Structure 1
Amino acid sequence: MVGVMTYVLSALSLVFHLFLLLPLSSANIIKNGTIGFSWLWQCQCTFSKPFQPEESLIYWQSKALIVAHVYAKGKEEFKYQHQLFKNRTKIFPDQLSSGNFSLVIESLMLKDDKTAFEVIFINSTSDQPEKLCQVTLHVSAPFHEPKIEINQDEKIATCSTKGGYPKPEVTWRSGDLLEGHERTLELHETTITNETDDTYSIRSTVNITGLLKVTCTVYNPTSHQTLSATTDMTPSPPTPVFAVVCFSLSVAAALIILYCINRRCNQTNGKVSENSPPSPEDPTDSNMSGGNVHEGSVSQTGTRAVIFRSTRKSDGSVDSETNNLSTADTDAEQEKQEQSVSVKILDETNTPESDKDK
């Protein structure tokens, strides 16, 4: 008989301890957290009897029997803590006696999303455990700023973003040519892709025929984050500063072209003047007393010279010739001719009268 009673008491004790780990009611309060940040699960308890740490048991657990933290008989107990919460939880032991049963969960993960938590408190003097602070945690990840790309050939606008959680709500607004005010665009295609890190990437397209501008809005239902991007598809007129700069550059280019044309014309005229053949001067007779030789002028161009020589023949006709000589040759020839003329003059002076009569 005693053995049977011992067995019954042991079975009841086992059922009682299992009952502590089961959820006692559904969670009605939703709390939000952000991935990578800490979340404070606030829980304040009012005692009907004085709190006795050595005789108390406190469980912070989920509906799926996942134990996040344990306080037993005056100290924290990590033996029953689930691996998912290892080194991620913290309580305030010195405030438990005042009823502060709050728990801090650090570095929230997407795996924590939609977890229903509750606190199980049992005092050795009470006959039944108390259920406290039931909440459901929703975890979110912020999306990147959306970007809009316009394809004028296909007349579509594409809005894209990524890195967020959970699935967002995407809407389009526009201003059109007919109505002249913004309206919501119902006909658009949105593709939501679940990435390897459990975040979502978004790609949404809409037809832009006849539209002046479009606005893409991405809304996160958990964090209530709203992100928007707007693109104006009407070409903007050039600013006055831009017009002045363009005009100045055009004037400067025209002046440079005119200067180059003028300079090229001057260079062409100079080359023609330098390369043209020299015009011979009219020979001038030198009336030597009784002489038969008349020397002409010398014209020099560069390093070349032209000598015009005329010789009176015995019958009274004049024979002329033109020689092209270098400057040095011209000087030597001129000096030689002067000496020859002088000799001839002397010869005529010294000719006896008898010879002249002949």
Structure 2
Amino acid sequence: MNLFILPLLLLCAHIMGQTPLSATVGGSVPILCSLPVNPVRVIWMYWQEEESRSILFHWDNNSTQPVADEYKNRCRAFETEFRLGNISIRLDNVTVDDDQKTFWTYVSYLDEQNQNTEKCRQCCKCKLQVSAPYQDLQVTVNSTANSATCTARGGYPQPQVSWTGLNKSSAAKLHLQAAEPSLLQDPTDKTLSVTSSVGVEGLQEVTCHIYNPHSHNSTSRTAQIPGDDQSGIHHLAIALVVPIALIAVAVAVICVWWKRRRVQEVPVVYTGPSSAQ
């Protein structure tokens, strides 16, 4: 589907500065703009970064013009739609460096009567909000240290990390307090790896939650606390030993009583006094 021919999106282009435009690292994003009238011909048009004034796309005299190095071969317009007033462009290969950038467009065109040259400065405004999903979420448990560590990589921006746990004795769900997560930035694509740790004493399982504040996506991973099964077996063994011991004592008492009774029941044979010669 061609996003640039959707009238609804074009109508929204003039107010895009109010809400950041979501973009994904490595992907493409349409930066939309529609003129208030259908021009006869666009004379020149360019998109400019607000902060640095770098040009990311420049159209003049029916051909593209040089742009800033960071935008070379990354932007394209749809010249066949200029006559419809659509001066949108597409930004390719979105990077972390594009996050929070604001772009303006400027254009000069002939009006519908093909008589007057009109100019529109800062016709449309667009702010990018870049994100990347966190991958390979893992939770490992250190039984010796009574702690769990959560790791994930390849995401952007810094995530919100939270922990929940299941109480061992009551099975109640608990919100756990963890130390501030540590971050490591990839030198190539500048995405982030995150590491967070939390104590797990008294828990039977623990869950790490990672929330991306730009994309609003969340992911989680649960790990069982080693030793819970052995603890359960231990408790079961104790529960079984007590009645077994009681049964053994009862059996011993019965045996002693039975032996005594048998002795008492043995008949005594009287042979009388022996005769002496």
TM-score between the two structures when normalised by the length of structure 2 = 0.69
Percent identity of the aligned residues? Answer: 25
Q: State how far apart, in whole Å, the 1-side matches of 2:183 and 2:86 are.
A: 42
1:220 aligns with 2:212: yes
Q: Which residue of the other structure, out of 105, 109, 120, is the alignment partner of 2:106?
A: 120
1:45 aligns with 2:8: no
The residue aligned with 2:43 is 56
- 1:92-241 matches, within 5 Å, as 92-123=78-109, 125-126=116-117, 128-197=119-188, 198-233=190-225, 234-235=228-229
Decide which structure has the larger Cα Rg and report it.
1
Q: Which residue of the other structure, out of 54, 60, 68, is the alignment partner of 1:66?
A: 54
Q: State how far apart, in whole Å, the 2-side matches of 1:179 and 1:235 are.
A: 16
1:86 aligns with 2:77: no
Give 1:204 deviation, angstroms: 0.7
Would the aligned equivalents of 1:91 and 1:101 in 2 still touch at CA under 8 Å?
yes
Q: State how far apart, in whole Å, the 2-side matches of 1:195 and 1:86 are.
A: 23
The amino acid across from 2:214 in the alignment is T
Q: State how far apart, in whole Å, the 2-side matches of 1:235 and 1:223 are.
A: 39
Q: 1:26 to 1:147 in 2, by over 3 A?
A: closer
Cα deviation 1:175-201 (Å, max 9, x = unaligned): 113553212112434212223232211
Root mean square deviation of aligned Cα: 2.4
Give 1:85 deviation, angstroms: 1.3
Give 1:130 deviation, angstroms: 3.5
Would the aligned equivalents of 1:36 and 1:108 in 2 still touch at CA under 8 Å?
yes
Would the aligned equivalents of 2:16 and 2:127 in 1 still touch at CA under 8 Å?
no
Q: State how far apart, in whole Å, the 1-side matches of 2:88 and 2:160 are.
A: 33
5+ residue gaps in structure 2?
1-14, 111-115, 234-277
Cα deviation 1:130-155 (Å, max 9, x = unaligned): 32221111222221131111111110
Would the aligned equivalents of 2:47 and 2:106 in 1 still touch at CA under 8 Å?
yes
Q: State how far apart, in whole Å, the 2-side matches of 1:170 and 1:101 are.
A: 41
Give 1:127 deviation, angstroms: 6.2
Q: 1:29 to 1:189 in 2, by over 3 A?
A: closer
Cα deviation 1:91-136 (Å, max 9, x = unaligned): 1111111111111111112222211012112236356533222111
1:30 aligns with 2:16: no
Q: Residue 95 of structure 1: SS of its match in structure 2? A: helix
Would the aligned equivalents of 2:177 and 2:198 in 1 still touch at CA under 8 Å?
no
The amino acid across from 1:40 in the alignment is P
Q: Residue 153 of structure 1: SS of its match in structure 2? A: coil
TM-score between the two structures when normalised by the length of structure 1 = 0.54
- 1:235-250 matches, within 5 Å, as 235=229
- 1:285-300 matches, within 5 Å, as none
Q: 1:29 to 1:126 in 2, by over 3 A?
A: farther
Give 1:167 deviation, angstroms: 0.8
Would the aligned equivalents of 1:189 and 1:206 in 2 still touch at CA under 8 Å?
no
Q: State how far apart, in whole Å, the 2-side matches of 1:40 and 1:26 are.
A: 12
Q: 1:41 to 1:182 in 2, by over 3 A?
A: same
The amino acid across from 1:162 in the alignment is R
Would the aligned equivalents of 2:100 and 2:129 in 1 still touch at CA under 8 Å?
yes
Q: State how far apart, in whole Å, the 2-side matches of 1:178 and 1:122 are.
A: 73
The amino acid across from 2:184 in the alignment is T
Q: 1:189 to 1:94 in 2, by over 3 A?
A: closer
Q: 1:133 to 1:127 in 2, by over 3 A?
A: closer
5+ residue gaps in structure 1?
1-24, 239-358
Would the aligned equivalents of 2:23 and 2:29 in 1 still touch at CA under 8 Å?
yes
The number of residue pairs the alignment matches comes to 209
Would the aligned equivalents of 1:188 and 1:207 in 2 still touch at CA under 8 Å?
no
Would the aligned equivalents of 2:178 and 2:197 in 1 still touch at CA under 8 Å?
no
